[in-house]
Amino acid sequence: MKLVECVPNFSEGRDPEKLDTIVGAMTAVEGVRLLDKEMDADHNRAVVTIIGEPEAVLEGAFRGIEKASELVDLTGHEGEHPRMGATDVCPFVPVKGVTMDDCVELAQRLGERVGGELEIPVFLYEAAATRPTRENLAKVRKGQFEGLRDEIGTNPAKDPDYGPKKIHPTAGATAIGARPFLVAYNINLDSADVAIAKKIANSIRHARGGFRYVKAMGFEIKDRGIVQVSINMVNYKGSPLFRVFETVKREAQRYGVNVVGSEIVGLVPAEALVACADFYLQLEDFKSEQVLENLLAEDEEE
């Protein structure tokens, strides 16, 4: 069996009915299985994870992007998280019997179809990027919907890989790519000062001299009156969760601020959590490989 995961992020975090309609369009494809869906009102964003055979997931992803383009209007969209499209990003992740090159091909095929049939400009990113400057999603999305609306068609550097050289009036643009497993990890602080969260984010993000495989930003969580360090762990083995958590906690203490909790958005590989257990419990002769083998064996039995 060949399995590929797809994790589209939609710019809708406040209307469950809209998200259910989008997810329904994807799971209506035979062979597509929903693993997880999460919404965040402050970020005004939803993260959906589907899995299945490559062709089924490819079709499911297209239908989700198509439905989102009908339901999400970027001209009235507000939220903490950067965004440039109704479907902001749509990465493919190899799971079983599928290579990264296979996922790059899926990204290309989906991008061509979205650009041609839906007339939404598509940028390929990460492993599917057609130029080095587009490997990093932050660079692709720079300017967000409003900025890209002015630049696409006038700045050659912003020419999409597929689709028209103009922004879709309501659905914006979409980044489609291929990447390894990513852990979306947020750490909440007992402060309302977003400047503190941004300083801490800068201290751990790779672009500012922090951890090699970490991207981070500081946000307000207005409904709770706190701030958040929002993190993308692009390689949880190279930069483990526990190491990043401990650093954020120490940095927060410098400003007289405490960590009040953390959260994982979407799914997380079991190996990442097993590593945290090993670190905090300081278990002697802990055989993490055996634990993972047992977990995988139980999953296959199910």
Please identify every residue annotated as catalytic.
81
CB 6 within 8 A of CB 17: no
Other C-beta atoms closer than 10 Å to the C-beta of 3 total 16
At residue 291, φ and ψ (nearest 5 deg) are: -60, -45
Question: Of 52, 60, 54, 47, which is closest to residue 7 (Cα–Cα)?
Answer: 47
Residue 30 structure tokens: 């035979």
Which is it for strands 3-6 and 45-52: parallel, antiparallel or unpaired? antiparallel
Other C-beta atoms closer than 10 Å to the C-beta of 295 total 13
Other C-beta atoms closer than 10 Å to the C-beta of 285 total 4
Q: Which DSSP symbol is given to 30?
A: T
Phi-psi region of 19 (alpha: psi -120 to 50; beta: other; left: phi over 0): alpha
